[in-house]
Structure 1
Amino acid sequence: MPPFDIPEGDPFGPHNLPYGVFSAPGPDSARRVGVRLGDHVLDVGAAAYALGSPYAPLLARPSLNPLLAAGRTTWSDVRRALTAWVTVPSHRETIERHFHPLSSVTLHLPFEVADYVDFYASENHARNVGRIFRPDAADSLTPNWKHLPIGYHGRSGTVVVSGTDVVRPSGQRKAPADPEPVFGPSVRLDIEAEVGFVVGGPSERGKPVGLADFRDHVFGLCLLNDWSARDIQAWEYVPLGPFLGKSFATSVSAWITPLDALEEARVAPPERTHDLLPYLDDSQDEPGGYDLRISVAINGHVVSEPPFSTMYWTAAQQLAHMTVNGASLRTGDLYGSGTVSGPTERERGSLLELTWNGRDPLELPDGKRTFLEDGDVVTMSAWAPGPGGVRVGLGEVTGRVSG
């Protein structure tokens, strides 16, 4: 199908235009920035030069980082230009030759990851975890949970693009009945369905980023799978938190959806049950949540559909908390929302919750699962409401477990 012949309602129509990095087959296999339109990818650097755009030097690059660093005004200007290039008939002949079928290209990690932080922002997930591991506690939430977005620093060097195999990690593990720890491959490998937020504009060290400045710093979002070795994590995390049980791999989708494409998806977060300190108080701000509909499949079988709209802490609050101590932002910083889980069993975003720590195995067409087996393929996809009732596709993040 020609690139401009997009079916009505296609989730990757001109209303979306997510960014990625691709290479085309042939002798010139250089990486280049592209935007997705339907089932095609537009080489935006080549198109910009062909149209004499002043943004050509910014777009004809092997990574999104230069565009991310250019700031919000440039992001908006480039998006307006791209929309015109793919919708105004007079541009069609010039840019049509710069499209590539999506099926013919190789997609790469779209930006160079600077720092990586992961949060714990779903009340449903946090309560489920509390009930699993602290069943006798008076409250399934920890005392600090309603007062600040809990998070940890991860390992940016092991963030990988969708489609990359994930090698089962090894480490120390110790079951409660074991006299001593043992070393070996994880036997409780899990997933966490998350949304990642990509920082563009940096900030100065010593100057916190306020809630109102969120959109000046965050360029867009992607889907994220925070792979987790639960047995390694359980033995190591006291008292400093996740380490080897998380740092072996984090998968992200190949497409970064700009925040400007998600205006229709903005919603109010759940009602706050505790008063918040001023730097986190968003009661007078515009809606900070996003209505994103996520689907999680194992070997092609859907096992969960977590709703992002239920997240207690918003991305703006997470950014504010992450910098309130004076920590600076860098272009390419990535932070994960934390596992997305809804109130029902079908909406839980991890196998830990879906199987209640292995007690209740999932019945899949190819057999029962408590945690992941070698060869399992996990795919997360998502969409959001868009203008006029059309969907905004968020792509997918997939990974296969290898032994």
Structure 2
Amino acid sequence: MEPITVVLIGAGMRGMIYTRHATDHPHELRVVGVADPDPDKRARCREVFGFDETHAYADWDALFAGPRIADAVFVCTQDRDHYEPALRALQAGYHVLLEKPMSPSWEECVALERQAAESDRLLAICHVLRYSPFFRTIKQAVTDGRIGRLMSIQHNENVGFLHYAHSYVRGKWRRSDESSPMILAKSCHDLDIMLWLADSPCRSVASYGGLSHFDETHAPPGAPTYCLDGCPVSDTCPYYAPNTYLRQEVGWMAASVSADTSYAARYAALRKGQYGRCVYRCDNDVVDHQVVSLDFANDVTASFTMSAFTAHTSRTLKLMGTEGELRATMASNEIEITRFGSGRRELVQLTDPGGHVGHGGGDARLVRDFVRAVRQYGSHDSLTSAAASVQSHLMAFAAERARLERRVVPLSEFTAPLN
């Protein structure tokens, strides 16, 4: 059986993670082209996958100007560049795997779902958590009635102080007008998981939160714009840039600073680059903490907390049912079920744990399921198809409206105009 062929649009970190499946499983997936404005990224992609230079495009306009060259495209651009290439790919007859969020506009999210149906093409969204063994095990426990009827969900996204500072203060997702609001850019994963677990449409949303710490009013006295310009609290500040980006071991955060990951290149990039800035003197505007309350049509209630102010990056949750409760921590793959009455506690062992890295194993499983869905189009649907993902996106838009307007927002405000 021939592998599914794909063109990568946006050859950044996420795009190269998803296309890694082609190197690990070449009999399932083959990358035959790339569209990216960065010549270094195009060259790297060609080097990894070995396709002809004629299929290395500087933009998606050039890709779509010619005949279709693959079965599918992976759209892994920045948030505000998701809609147009995904729409044009569907119109050109490609199946599409689209990085979340679908779009910073709720109308465009709905338009993409409708275009997929009109084009009779698969549009799958990268809600990778649904594929992780951790959340699949939790979902199965709820489906099997191991805590009785699910009544309440408490879910925490512990972003981690360094992760937040890197991505949402200094990084590409720091401003909602350049990417999307935090609840959409980061936490649409979590709203999607709560929708999946509740297994019922969401009726209304309330939300509170804001940017309360990472601004100039909290800068230490004398702190310069750039950490390397003689910061007076460099020995004690947990966000001092050289401590994050100039370590001997180059991790994913340090790799974001410079394409050349040598110490000298990273040091030079911190001198006047975005990742070298004091976290209290950036141009960020996305929230650093937020809570969301959700009411589902089957009377399940849920609360979600996103916070930058955590020591570690992890997701933790508690599910409360009529016959028991479930507590879980993703980073350690700990799932515990307690039954009422007997008090019996059961630790659920994952046969294939993934932890936090690779979204708990969800990244690879998402791509494998996409390949299967393309092969068996019409008989096998993606777990994260656009039809399944649009509502959790609308929940995120409702949460942001609720936060800004400080009121309860019914989902009908978004769904009624569609009818």
Q: Please, what TM-score do these two structures have when normalized by structure 2?
A: 0.26
Higher helix share: 2
Higher strand share: 1
